[in-house]
Amino acid sequence: MNHSQPQSEDSTPRQGGEHLPNGPAGAAILSAGAGCAVLGILAVAGDASKAVAKLLTFYLPTGPLSGVSSLAILVWLVTWFILAKRWRAKTVALAKINATAFLLLALGILLTFPPFADFLQGK
Amino acid sequence: MEITLRALITLIHGMLFGAFFLMAVYGLVVELRHSAFVEQPAKLTPQGYARERLYLIGVAAMGWAAVLTGAYLIYPWYRAVPPAGVTDLALYPRFLLKSSATTAGWHDLGMEWKEHIAWIAPIAMTMVAYVITKYRQSMREHPQIRTAVLAFALVALGAAGVAGFFGAMLNKYAPINGGSTIHLKGKSQ
């Protein structure tokens, strides 16, 4: 999916006649969705496998939650940084980006819900 | 009147950081929804924009403070393993909850959900704060940005609501206690 197709609908004049592209917003929105999805995926992975849970235990008193949350934040920030750099001056297809971000966000929420995570693991 | 250190930190986590975050995000959602129906959006002074930015940063910071104190201060107390032979589980909330079928669900559903979904709130709110700050003056011209910001703000509110509800219920059935006692008023025993 190419999210950075040139579009003219979102090139809005800023104060002083400048144009404010929607790329930076798209980068922030998509990366937030990605971070939430990673959080959910890692939460299920840590719950399903003792080996993964051990790998995710960055701080022993907090257990696997320390790795789940730290890695989700890392993925979110790195994705944001990369996309923001690439889309800094671009006008992107925000409808597609929103749809993808909402899907990722919904996935993240669903995977954190214990009955659904248990269902996936056949518990 | 006394309070234990752990109970005080739990109070700060829930009643200061968590409750402030919930109220502030609710206010933001109302304002975002309201702004969609305004014919002439208000133009703020530079000081007004600065205060708005400060508010947004403050909301996101409260969200982060709530999850960080929860995960790295309170959660270790919650999941502490009782030494062999200990029968009084008052200082081991997870084991206390799981020791009875009538309370186990507060851990299996409540804490298991809360500990993960809570992180979605500050991630979403940080994005919302950044986008509102950057596009404040041109938000009306970017309806799709407004839609995304509103959706993520609603999710932040919902996630914080779930975490707050289960946090309150968990603390009701298995309160976090222990640590030194802080004397607040009256005679100490």
DSSP assignments along A36-85, one per residue: HHHHHHHHHHHHH-HHHHHHT-SBTTTBHHHHHHHHHHHHHHHHHHHHHH
Give me the percent of chain B exceeding a pLDDT of 70: 98
Q: How far is it between the farthest Cα atoms of chain A?
A: 60
Taking the alpha carbons at both ends of chain B, their separation in whole angstroms is 10
Per-residue pLDDT for B165 more than 60? yes
User: How much is the pTM?
Assistant: 0.92
Domains in chain A: how many in total? 1
Structure tokens at A19: 């144009």
A-chain residue closest to B80, CA distance: A61
Residue A17 lies in a domain: no
Candidates A7, A29, A68, partner chain B, best to mutate (most B CBs within 10 A)? A29
Residues of B with Cβ-Cβ distance to A61 under 8 angstroms: 72, 75-76, 79
DSSP string, B28-41: HHHHHHHHTT-SSP
Residue A2 lies in a domain: no
Q: Which member of A10, A73, A109 has the closest CB to residue B117?
A: A109
Q: Give the ipTM of the model, two decimals please.
A: 0.92
Residue A111 lies in a domain: yes
Residue A64 lies in a domain: yes
Domain that holds residue A98: 23-120
Per-residue pLDDT, B183: 87
Residues of B with Cβ-Cβ distance to A25 under 8 angstroms: 131, 134-135, 142, 145, 148
Residue A83 lies in a domain: yes
Arithmetic mean of pLDDT over chain B:
94
Size of interface A-B (CB pairs under 8 A): 106
Give me the percent of chain B exceeding a pLDDT of 90: 83
